[in-house]
């Protein structure tokens, strides 16, 4: 189909909660030529038949200004200039320059890696969730090379900006984020993890197989999966995938077999009845039961790998 890639990208934005249904149909109509053809195209893709889920709040959600979490926007040097981020820490962990003076014990650090929408409010919420669990969390902005996510208020523009930055830039910017975490006196520099979603899950895979610092990577429906030979460099991994995300989940059996053959420490969970982006509580495919269970497993994995003895 002509414009198939563009339409799939728009559907992906809808899945991630960046577009509502009306916006999706309108934008697809720009490619198909009419609302009727757009509706038929989306129906054939199984999109418009997907049920809207109630916005039940997962207990993990942590609102901005939560009294037990301290947050700040941060900047740090990267390969191509300044990288932006959102730092969240549990209450009682002083701002980084004061930590040693206050005698605060350092905590493990976690890098939070966004989807192809940049550092959105949802990803900032996820960053606060990690902090509530007792970690120093850094939500990285992989649109920093173009001025940061805040420069793009439209969902399509943010996706296009993410694609313009390109895969070759994501890894060095994530590595800059890891270096920044390691530089903070409130972070236990030898206890670092990462969590990524969708495109960010693919980036998390890449970081996990290239950075020996990452002891606890968590991949939510990450794409693309890593080359089999790259798994030799993996420390451990927790994989979260969805039954109805068939194209992506169907690519994982070879990865699982390789993890077993290479005797790697890993967990792999496929959530029955859940679809791509099921953890994103701002999107239409949010599945609160699967999301909350997956988050519980995520924190348990961080505790096991980064805080041994408490899990």
Cα(146)–Cα(172) distance, rounded to whole angstroms? 15
Tell the residue number behind the tokens 């109509």, with chain if given: 29
Cα(217)–Cα(280) distance, rounded to whole angstroms? 18
Burial-class residue 104 by CB neighbours within 10 Å (0-12, 13-18, 19+). middle
Tell me the average confidence (pLDDT) per consecutive run of 10 residues in the chain, 311 residues long.
70 72 75 69 65 50 92 97 97 63 78 97 97 97 98 93 96 98 97 97 97 97 93 96 95 96 97 96 92 95 87 45
Q: Note the pLDDT of residue 311.
A: 45
69-306: CATH topology? Rossmann fold (3.40.50)
pTM: predicted TM-score of the whole model, two decimal places: 0.85
Q: Note the pLDDT of residue 27.
A: 81
Q: Note the pLDDT of residue 51.
A: 47
| Domain locations along the chain | 4-44, 69-306
Residue 137, SS3 per DSSP = strand
Q: Note the pLDDT of residue 141.
A: 98
Within 10 angstroms of residue 233's Cβ, the number of other Cβ atoms is 12
Tell the residue number behind the tokens 């997962």, with chain if given: 58
Longest dimension (CA), the chain: 65
Nearest to 293 by CA among 248, 242, 259, 258: 242
Q: Note the pLDDT of residue 82.
A: 98
Residue 251, SS3 per DSSP = coil
């Amino acid at each position: 189909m002509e414009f198939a890639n563009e339409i799939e990208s728009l559907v992906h934005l809808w899945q991630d909660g960046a577009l509502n249904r009306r916006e999706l149909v309108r934008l697809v109509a720009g490619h198909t030529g009419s609302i009727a053809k757009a509706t038929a195209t989306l129906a054939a893709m199984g999109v418009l038949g997907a049920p809207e889920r109630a916005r039940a709040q997962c207990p993990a959600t942590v609102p901005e200004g939560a009294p037990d979490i301290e947050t700040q926007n941060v900047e740090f040097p990267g390969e191509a200039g300044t990288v932006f981020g959102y730092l969240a820490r549990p209450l009682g962990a002083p701002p980084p320059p004061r930590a040693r003076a206050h005698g605060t014990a350092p905590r493990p650090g976690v890098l939070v890696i966004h989807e192809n929408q940049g550092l959105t409010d949802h990803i900032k919420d996820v960053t606060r969730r990690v902090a509530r669990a007792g970690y120093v969390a850094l939500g990285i902005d992989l649109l920093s090379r173009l001025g940061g996510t805040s420069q793009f208020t439209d969902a399509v523009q943010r996706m296009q900006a993410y694609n313009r930055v390109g895969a070759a830039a994501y890894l060095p910017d994530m590595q800059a984020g890891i270096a920044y975490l390691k530089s903070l006196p409130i972070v236990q520099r030898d206890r670092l993890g990462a969590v990524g979603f969708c495109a960010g899950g693919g980036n998390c895979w890449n970081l996990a197989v290239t950075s020996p610092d990452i002891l606890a990577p968590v991949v939510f429906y990450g794409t693309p999966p890593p080359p089999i030979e790259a798994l030799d460099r993996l420390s451990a991994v927790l994989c979260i995938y969805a039954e109805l995300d068939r194209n992506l989940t169907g690519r994982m059996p070879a990865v699982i077999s390789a993890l077993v053959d290479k005797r790697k420490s890993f967990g792999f969970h496929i959530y029955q009845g859940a679809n791509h982006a099921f953890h994103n509580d701002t999107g239409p495919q949010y599945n609160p039961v699967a999301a909350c269970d997956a988050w519980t497993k995520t924190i348990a994995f961080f505790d096991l790998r980064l805080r041994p003895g408490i899990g």
